[in-house]
């Protein structure tokens, strides 16, 4: 593991962080800053090549601001604050590009105009007015996020989103990030059972299960995602997570993702039928905004 203290550096009162890459990402359709290092040691980490190994370039908040200002010139679509999520990126554009190259398909959400769709290395889509911090989660050292956010809010019109495992979001750190101007969190809830969470990540989740309420109570935008991991995180745990969210706010966007063999975990991906079954169970809890993501990773296609 590369601890947060090894991926964060303080030099003459300037905070630096190791960043692997930064670019317009799909299907989120916003600018993503991929950080090296993480507070978790997930057995199935899908980004282990840079979260569990120190790699990348040291960037200061002012250098992140330069990236944000450059990206702002590419923005083609302005979101409302309540839609500052990955979830709402997927529901506005499927990324096929056919509205530009051919004829808009019937499955197109019809939200964006073809003039707002651009081609980037990860594919077609709009460029939304959001910058997201993703990759490894280092919210246990919030100063970098706070300084970046203050600069971005002062000198651009971009929203700021942080993808997080929740481990670093103590009340003190949430307060720091709120005062800095962070808009949104994408909370990756790894498991409901504490024993499973410890085996998967190395830490307890008792505090993390309280976070949806804390985050919403403080006025942040919140979305949640969970991986279906056969034999580890299956329908029973996913249902409990959904029920927890319903009690906080049934409108919280929830994305069910398919795991796939990665890093130290070789378990198979869920089947399409398993994903659909879990999706239906989540919907039946009362959550209003539910979607399945990365279905290309399932081990068996739909029959």
Residue 53 pLDDT class (50, 70, 90 cuts): confident
| pLDDT for residue 294 is more than 90 | no
Per the DSSP assignment, residues forming a β-bridge with 131 are: 31, 160
Rounded distance between C-alpha atoms, residue 186 and residue 166, angstroms: 9
pLDDT at 47: 78
Over the chain, what is the mean pLDDT? 92
More confident residue, 291 or 300: 291
**Measured torsion, CA atoms of residues 282, 283, 286, 287, in degrees rounded to the nearest 10:** 80
pLDDT in tens, 251-281: 999 999 999 887 888 889 999 999 999 999 9
91: helix, strand or coil? coil
In the chain, beta strands by DSSP E: 8-11, 14-25, 30-35, 57-59, 118-120, 123-125, 130-135, 159-164, 184-188, 221-228, 254-258, 290-292
What pTM was estimated for this model as a whole? 0.94
pLDDT in tens, 138-148: 888 899 999 99
Least confident of 45-49, 80-84, 293-297: 45-49
Tokens standing for residue 66: 């330069």
List of domains in the chain:
1-188 (no CATH), 199-303 (3.20.20.70)
pLDDT at 45: 79
Percentage of the chain with pLDDT > 70?
95
pLDDT at 141: 87
Residue 3 pLDDT class (50, 70, 90 cuts): very low
| pLDDT for residue 7 is more than 80 | no
């Amino acid at each position: 593991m590369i601890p947060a203290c090894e991926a964060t550096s303080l030099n003459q009162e300037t905070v630096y962080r190791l960043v692997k890459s930064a670019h317009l990402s799909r299907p989120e359709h916003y600018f993503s800053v991929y950080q090296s290092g993480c507070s978790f040691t997930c057995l199935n980490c899908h980004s282990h090549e840079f979260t569990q190994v120190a790699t990348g370039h040291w960037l200061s908040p002012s250098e992140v601001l330069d990236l944000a200002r450059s990206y702002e010139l590419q923005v083609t679509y302005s979101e409302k604050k309540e839609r500052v999520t990955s979830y709402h990126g997927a529901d506005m554009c499927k990324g096929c590009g056919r509205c530009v190259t051919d004829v808009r398909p019937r499955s197109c959400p019809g939200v964006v105009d073809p003039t707002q769709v651009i081609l980037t290395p990860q594919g077609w889509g709009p460029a939304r007015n959001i910058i997201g911090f993703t990759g490894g989660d280092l919210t246990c050292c919030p100063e970098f996020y706070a300084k970046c956010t203050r600069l971005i809010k002062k000198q651009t019109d971009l929203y700021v989103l942080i993808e997080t495992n929740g481990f670093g979001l103590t009340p003190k750190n949430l307060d720091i990030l709120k005062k800095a101007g962070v808009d949104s969190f994408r909370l990756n809830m790894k498991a409901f059972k504490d024993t499973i969470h410890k085996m998967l990540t190395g830490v307890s989740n008792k505090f993390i299960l309280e976070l949806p309420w804390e985050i919403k109570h403080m006025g942040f935008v919140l979305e949640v995602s969970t991986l279906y991991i056969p034999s580890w995180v299956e329908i029973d745990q996913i249902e409990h997570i959904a029920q927890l969210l319903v009690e906080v706010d049934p409108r919280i966007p929830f994305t069910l993702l398919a795991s796939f063999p990665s890093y130290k975990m070789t378990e198979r991906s869920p089947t399409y039928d398993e994903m659909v079954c879990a999706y239906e169970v989540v919907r039946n809890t009362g959550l209003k905004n539910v979607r399945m993501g990365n279905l290309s990773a399932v081990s068996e296609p739909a029959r």
